[in-house]
Amino acid sequence: MFHFVKNYFRKKINGRYNPIDPDEIFLDSKNLPEFDTHQFEGRIEKPISVNVFRMVALFMVCVAVIFVGKLWHLQVVDGATLKAKSENNRLHTTVIFADRGAIVDRNGKELAWNTINTATTSDFSLRVYATSTGLSTVIGYIKYPSKDSSGVYYQTKIDPKDGLEKIYDTVLSGKNGMKIVETDVKGKVMSESVVQPPQNGKNLVLSIDARVQKKLYESMLDLARRAGFKGGAAVIMDVHTGEIIANANFPEYDSQTMTSGDSTSKINGWLQDKNNPFLNRTINGLYTPGSIIKPFVAMGVLEQGVIDPKKQILSTGSISIPNPYDKTKTSTFNDWKAHGYVDLRRALAVSSNVYFYEVGGGYQDQKGIGITNIEKYVRMFGFGTTTGAIFPGEKKGIIPDPEWKKQTFDGEAWRVGDTYNSVIGQYGFQVTPIQVIRAVGALANEGTLLTPLYIKDEKPKISGTISMDKKYYTIVKEGMRLGVTDGTSVSINVPYVEVASKTGTAQIGVNKDQVNSWVIGFWPYKNPHYAYVVVMEKASKVNQFGAVGVMRGVFDWMSIYAPEYLK
């Protein structure tokens, strides 16, 4: 029965029997007109043609062939090139260098500033310095960032090496930025994107007046050429604020050359120079003061009351005392000339050694203040201590006393002759120009020790006060004024400003055949505003020119080009 039904529902098509679909059996031909043929109603489904599958298969084969072909091209044909490109086309972060702040003088004139290097493709601005000003050891110099052979910076900071550039680096340097850079196989920059912008440094405004500074330096060089001095330092300071108006050193290196590094011969020459161009003489130079110490000793003489300032002492050119090693002989202590009778004021004016021998160490019936008081009073004016100036390595100097001699000369005892030499600023005395300018400022303002300042409008800093009778200051100032009108500083007796001054000459060298020449002072005499100190190094003792000539050049120039300083 089963087989009968099965065979019954078969139809013969093209000579073959195929199964009859149930849809064909139940298809009602009466409803055909009612079918929506657009929706395929009333139609019998037919299987997808084999050709369709063949076409799809052929398409997939083509896609596969194209894909494999492209892959083969990338891997085999262009593989090496693309590998090199992938290794060299890189994204990396690099620094954006901040511009360093400028250093300007009190009037806004640039002393150190930046410029774009048009000759190369530097990533940072180049530093430019005002030259021939005598300020290199004050301002200092820098070293630029360094990069390796592949152009990558391994040092990403400008490195300050000396002076104000180093001291105020946190102010001047700013903060570097960052960017992302894409480079190709040849190192060519393809694109850049700033991630963090740089913050430029701030400007530094100095108390120094570039005009006065330049003239002071030129005046020093002029005297050195005429008289054979090998070096020197000079400072001008406001006695009310402590601001440094000018500070010249010579010889010294050139900041521009040291920064650029483009002259090895010059740099090597400076390194080998026995006069040490890298020494900041104002701060770190130690000098025998000579007679410039006398005004400060005179203050002690007056306060101790060992002599009436009007009492005269006869200077015949020397004094002699018994030789401690041979009683049959005498030890002679010379004056630089016979001055005749001099009182304290005139002794300062003409720089009489004999007068100060006697009031310092005593002689016959004249009492002296002694080495203990000499040390006491010069320390009161800041000698033997640092000033607090911003430069590192400041020297304290030396004030000779019995303990110093014992340590220095294998236990030797102190003698009156040592006091004589000390009272005129010889023997073991050592001072720095910055100490001297502070002391002169305290003499001019009558008792206030000010810290020397190099930044404009910085609040004055008082490092000490000297409580002494005002009349003692008046007497010493009168002696220094007399030195200009009728003494060793007569060459600066100019008509356009009243100056008070004291010169000094210190013998140096084994044979005492060389001298350092000093001049200190202040102006205007009746109402002091500025103090000055000049020291010129190592000239022949027969030289007829002294440091006072430097200030004459400065005062003459000021009278024409900067008269505001003489008021």
Express each pLDDT in 527-542 by its tens digit.
999 999 999 998 877 7
Vertex 59: Cα angle to 57 and 62 (nearest 5): 110
Whether residue 526 has pLDDT greater than 80: yes
CA distance 436 to 286: 11
Measured CA to CA in angstroms, residue 237 lies from 227, 371, 394 at distances of 26, 30, 18
pLDDT (mean) for 86-97: 67
**Does 89 or 294 have the greater pLDDT score?**
294
Strands 340-342 and 330-334: unpaired
Per-residue pLDDT tens for 220-249?
Answer: 999 999 989 999 999 999 999 999 999 999
| Cβ-Cβ contacts under 8 Å for 243 (sequence gap 6 or more) | 207, 237, 453, 454, 456, 458
pLDDT at 35 over 80: no
The CA distance from 28 to 475, in Å, is: 146
Band of pLDDT at residue 1, cut at 50, 70 and 90: very low
Residue with the larger pLDDT of the pair 7 and 67: 67
Contact of 547 with 536, CB cutoff 8 Å:
yes
**Domain 210-566 coded CATH 3.40.710.10:** yes
Nearest to 116 by CA among 108, 131, 127: 127
Query: Does residue 9 have a pLDDT over 50?
Result: no
Q: What is the pLDDT of residue 2?
A: 47
From the CA atom positions of the chain, what is the Rg in Å? 46
Contacts of 181 (CB under 8 A, 6+ apart): 91, 92, 93, 94, 189, 191, 192
Cα 92 from Cα 531, distance rounded (Å): 57
Q: How far apart are CA 183 and CA 88, in angstroms?
A: 7
- Is omega for the bond preceding 524 within 30 degrees of 0, making it cis? yes
Instruction: Indicate the pairing of strand 103-104 with strand 110-115.
Output: antiparallel
Residue 398 DSSP one-character state:
B
Where do the H-state alpha helices sit in 462-563?
470-486, 548-561
Per mean pLDDT, which range of 172-186, 272-286, 374-388 is the poorest? Answer: 172-186
Instruction: Please list, residue by residue across 357-386, b when 16 or more beta carbons sit within 10 angstroms of its beta carbon and e when fewer do.
Output: bbbbbbbeeeebbbbebbbebbebbbbbbb
Q: HSE-up of 272 (CA within 13 Å, CB side)?
A: 6
3-class SS string, 431-491: ECHHHHHHHHHHHHCCCEEECCECECCCCCCEEEECCCCHHHHHHHHHHHHHHHHHCCCHH
Average pLDDT in the 195-211 region? Answer: 92
Q: In what order do the strands lie in the sheet with 90-96?
A: 90-96, 177-183, 189-196
**Per residue in 285-325, pLDDT tens?**
999 999 999 999 999 999 999 999 999 999 999 999 887 77
Q: What sign does the CA torsion over 49, 55, 58, 64 have?
A: negative
- Considering only residues 122 and 185, tell me which one the structure prediction assigns the higher pLDDT: 122
> Could you give the residue range(s) of every CATH 3.90.1310.10 domain in the chain?
91-205
In this prediction, residues 388-397 reach a mean pLDDT of 94
Average pLDDT, rounded, for the chain: 87
State whether CATH 1.25.60.10 applies to domain 91-205. no
- Distance (Å, rounded) from C-alpha 229 to C-alpha 222? 10
**For residue 440, what are the contacts with CB-CB under 8 A and spacing of at least 6?**
520, 521, 522, 531, 532, 533
Q: Look at residue 355 and tell me whether its pLDDT is greater than 70.
A: yes
Stronger pLDDT, 182 or 276, i.e. the higher one: 276
% of the chain beyond a pLDDT of 90: 65
Q: DSSP letter for 203, please.
A: P
Q: How many CB atoms lie within 10 A of CB 446?
A: 15
User: In the chain, which segments carry CATH 3.40.710.10?
Assistant: 210-566
Which residues fall within 8 angstroms of residue 447, CB to CB, at 6 or more apart? 465, 466, 467, 468, 473
What is the per-residue pLDDT across 395-445, written as a single tens digit (0 to 9) for each?
A: 999 999 999 999 999 899 999 999 999 999 999 999 999 999 999 999 999
Phi, psi of 109 (to 5 degrees): -75, 130
pLDDT band of 553, cuts 50, 70, 90:
very high
Q: What share of the chain is helix, strand, coil (3-state, %, to 5)?
A: 40, 25, 40
Give long-range contacts, CB 8 A cutoff, 24+ apart: 442-445: 442/381, 442/382, 442/466, 443/295, 443/296, 443/299, 443/381, 443/473, 443/476, 443/477, 443/522, 443/531, 444/239, 444/477, 444/500, 444/522, 444/528, 444/531, 445/239, 445/240, 445/528
**Which residues sit opposite 237 in a β-bridge?**
244, 531
Inter-CA distances, 472 with 74, 321, 359, 543, Å: 98, 30, 16, 34
C-alpha dist (Å) from residue 301 to 87, 111, 307, 346: 84, 45, 7, 15
Comparing CA positions, the residue from 419, 441, 427 lying closest to residue 367 is 419
The band of 55, judged by pLDDT with boundaries at 50, 70 and 90, is confident
Sole residue written with tokens 């079918």: 35
Strand partners, 151: none
Which of 173-177, 191-195, 265-269, 494-498 has the highest average model confidence (pLDDT)?
Answer: 494-498
Instruction: Say how many Å lie between the first and final Cα of the chain, rounded.
Output: 144
The span from the CA of 550 to the CA of 234, in Å, is 9
